Amino acid sequence: MFTTTWDKVISKKHLKLGAFYLLSSFTLFGQIPSYQFKSIHGIGNSSKALFQPYLFRSKETSDFHLQVHIKEFDLQAKEIVKFHAEVYVDRDSILGPQLLYSYRSSFKTQGLKKNSAHWEEMAKLSSQSLIKQFAIWWKNNWDKDPKLIQQVKVEFLPDYLPSSQDADSLFYGQKKLEWSDFKSKPTPGSRFAAQIFSNFEYHASPRIEQGILYLPLQVKVYMLRSYSWKKENLPDRALDHEATHFAITQRAAKQFKELITQRTLRPLWYESELQWWFLDAYRWMNSTQKAYDEETQHGINLLEQEKWNERFK
């Protein structure tokens, strides 16, 4: 499970929170991707030469190029040669090699052997056992390890609208905003006539099919009644002003989805990229809400208010 949550105060009048929740549920089927061991690390060149004939067999193209990091291969062992290797996949220059699999084994030496043929045999046995056990791991885990995702596809779900009314949250499009939705008490000493607490967030539940991570994504746009307030005897045009604040929040959510459609999510970076584009949309929302209040003078300038109402209707 991946969960990232932001709590961010936007302004004195319009307080907004941003949140992102990502739940993992992986399911895979289809053809198993191919791989090759392409490099050996952790030992000197003379020792590498012992392993290369057995690990570097295939010259065909493959879906994944893997690194073998040898952590232990004791050439001075008298009775038992211990072998420890780790397999890494290197798909990103920033993230660097990422661990997939760790393997340990040991072989009897039958006494101290110093001739090269003996150590070639130990390297052969170690390589063959690694190849065999890693092939089993690959078959059982290529569909579970997110480091092996090859493509990300986003599936946009309709914006969240519950079938029944929530006591506190009013979701955009659920019904027309009314003064009765402003349940909180006015902030003491505030010079504003009303304040709406609006927010948007997104939820995604990824699954993997045939090497592709599908990301069903749903946006929630809502206002919280318990944090929204108004003063007494306000005209309908004051409600229009708050309703347009709500509409700006909805437009930010729409812009977030547009940012995703204009770009390609990278398999190893899709979480960070989604969060970054979410913040881009959030920054746009903040600046737009501020400009809206400044240009309409918080709803006092009726001409400007009509322009903004038209823009976000």
* Tens digit of each residue's pLDDT (9 = 90 or more) over 234-245: 988 899 999 999
Q: Which amino acid is at 73?
A: F
User: DSSP letter at 156?
Assistant: E
Over 60: is that where the pLDDT of 5 sits?
A: no
Quote the pLDDT of residue 10: 32
Query: Alpha-carbon Rg of the chain, whole angstroms?
Result: 30
What pLDDT, on the 0 to 100 scale, is given for residue 30?
A: 56
pLDDT at position 28 over 80: no
Place of tokens 């480091």: 147
pLDDT > 70: percent of the chain: 86
Give the pLDDT of residue 117: 76
Q: pTM (2 decimals)?
A: 0.77
Residues 243-248: what's their mean pLDDT?
97
Is the backbone of residue 298 left (phi > 0), alpha (psi -120 to 50) or beta? left
Q: Is 7 left (phi over 0), alpha (psi -120 to 50) or beta?
A: beta
**Higher-pLDDT residue of 42, 111:** 42
Query: Parallel, antiparallel, or unpaired for β 35-41 and 64-73?
Result: parallel
pLDDT at 29: 44
**308 and 288 in contact (C-beta within 8 Å)?**
no
Which domains does the chain show, CATH number per domain? 2-28+150-311 (no CATH), 35-141 (3.30.160)
Whole-number average pLDDT of the chain: 86
User: Can you point out the beta strands (E) in 45-139?
Assistant: 64-73, 80-89, 98-108
Confidence of residue 255 (pLDDT cuts 50, 70, 90): very high
Say if residue 147's pLDDT is above 60: yes
Closest CA to 253 of 141, 311, 172: 172
pLDDT of residue 305: 95
Q: At what angle do helices 270-296 and 302-311 cross, to 10 degrees?
A: 150
Average pLDDT of span 221-232: 96
